Amino acid sequence: MWSTRRATPAVAAFGLVALSAFPAAASMTATSSGAGPQIFGIPYEFILFALTLIGVGLFHHRTFLVAVTGLSAIIAYKFFVTGFAEGAGLEGLQAHMWHERVTLSNLFLLLIGFAVLSRQFEDSKAPDAMPALLPDNWMGGLALLAMVLVLSSFLDNIAAALIGGVVARHVYHGKVHIAYLAGIVAASNAGGAGSVVGDTTTTMMWIDGVSPLNVVHAYVGSAVAFLVFSIPISIVQQFHQPIQKHREGEFKIDWTRVSVVGIILLTAISANVCANLFAPELLDQYPVIGIGVWAAIIVTAVVRKPLFKVIPGQLKGALFLLSLVTCASLMPVERLPEASWQVALGLGFVSSVFDNIPLTALALNQGGYDWGMLAYCVGYGGSMIWFGSSAGVALSNQYPEARSAVKWLLHGWWVVLGYVAGFFALLYVMGWHPHAPHKADPTTVPHASPMGDPATASP
């Protein structure tokens, strides 16, 4: 048991996240539809969602029940009181869920599919050979985090986090510190922030017409954030459980199974890239990436049968995340605050508790953002709390002890510090370059100085 005194830093860190997120959240509330009852200008839906998130943070052994209860309360409130954005009653609910079908089904298929993939990777015995490739000291943990970061630049961050989690379990004899788990999630999100195939939010930008070159500078922030959190977290892990020493001899790696893993990952990448290049309209109609992953799993099962028994254990975690994503989609937010670097900074904190997919969609519709800076904020920002990103939820299925927001912040506060340091490094080095609505005019709006008054996009 850990005392209240030890919990104080985590509570303070959570307070920092909440207070930093509040201005952006309040601004979003101010521009919401406002048709329903409000308390101090805040719609009841936001209050119900906030209570749900607090419940998830406090009752980490009952996260699924809390999330489903919160979703049920929000649906009931909108069903009987305010109605849905798509209409009132059952028809409105059906229309809303149909509108969200691609996001929810794709997320579900990827969470379960990549869990199956990570078990294939573990059964290949390739993780057993990792101690021979990693240094014997804290730099081994640093190298593993760097591997996750690089993988997530071209893989989905869920897959990168799960692979990192499997390797960590082997090289640290199953004793992985919660700070290091936070580091794995942060590395996976940082790696995907500047790549249009590494994260759902950047892929959304690509689909919507944002050039991949306009998000790549997010890696400036990711690199600084990685340096801030990765070194101390690797040292903490080394003290907690030293990395496994090099072992002599040969390892019986099942290279056929490793190839199966590679085929599944390549299929995911190909489905994403090909759909974006040749048939982007399909991405709004079908869960293309999720279908591609499962098609590859089924086809390669002829060569190496996957362990489908892992699926029941993953269902609760997947449905938990889908519940929170659905809650976020039901919030009466129609517009974000006027684009500025201050708002982008706040959105990063908001994304640690609020699904970044609808935030990104709103930003794309509104325009006027620096897309690389936004990609860094909403991508990496979800790492600050375990349920803030799909990678964190997926990893918590491997490590249930991670499902404590207080412990996550208490031990992984370096991730929050990394976010702030990375943001201001990105702002200082690259400046704030807002873009006009990219479908109308892709030119960049100039600005006077990176730390001066934020420039506004031209209409």
What does the pLDDT look like over 165-188, one tens digit per residue? 999 998 998 999 999 999 999 999
Q: Is 439 domain-assigned?
A: no
Q: Is residue 52 part of a domain?
A: yes
Query: pLDDT tens, 50-100?
Result: 888 888 877 878 888 999 999 999 999 999 988 888 888 899 999 999 988
Q: What are phi and psi of 316, to 5 degrees?
A: -60, -45
Kindly state whether residue 453 falls inside one of the protein's structural domains: no
Question: pTM of the entire structure?
Answer: 0.80
Residue pair 360/204 in contact by the 8 Å Cβ criterion = yes
Amino acid 243 reads: I
- State the residue range of the domain holding 402: 4-430
- What is the rounded CA–CA span in Å between residue 373 and residue 441? 19
Q: By the 8 A CB rule, do 129 and 253 touch?
A: yes
Establish if 448 belongs to a structural domain: no
Q: Which residues pair with 84 in a beta bridge?
A: 87
N residues, the chain: 459
Beta-ladder partners of 43: 38
| 435 in a structural domain | no
Give me the pLDDT at residue 35, please: 55
For residue 341, name the pLDDT band (cuts at 50, 70, 90). Answer: very high
Domain assignment present for residue 141? The answer is yes
Whether residue 215 is contained in a domain is answered as yes
- Alpha-carbon distance of 297 to 161, in angstroms, equals 19
Q: Choose between 162 and 22: higher pLDDT.
A: 162
Is residue 446 domain-resident? no
pLDDT > 90: percent of the chain:
36
User: What total number of domains does the chain contain?
Assistant: 1
Q: Across the chain, what does the average pLDDT equal?
A: 82
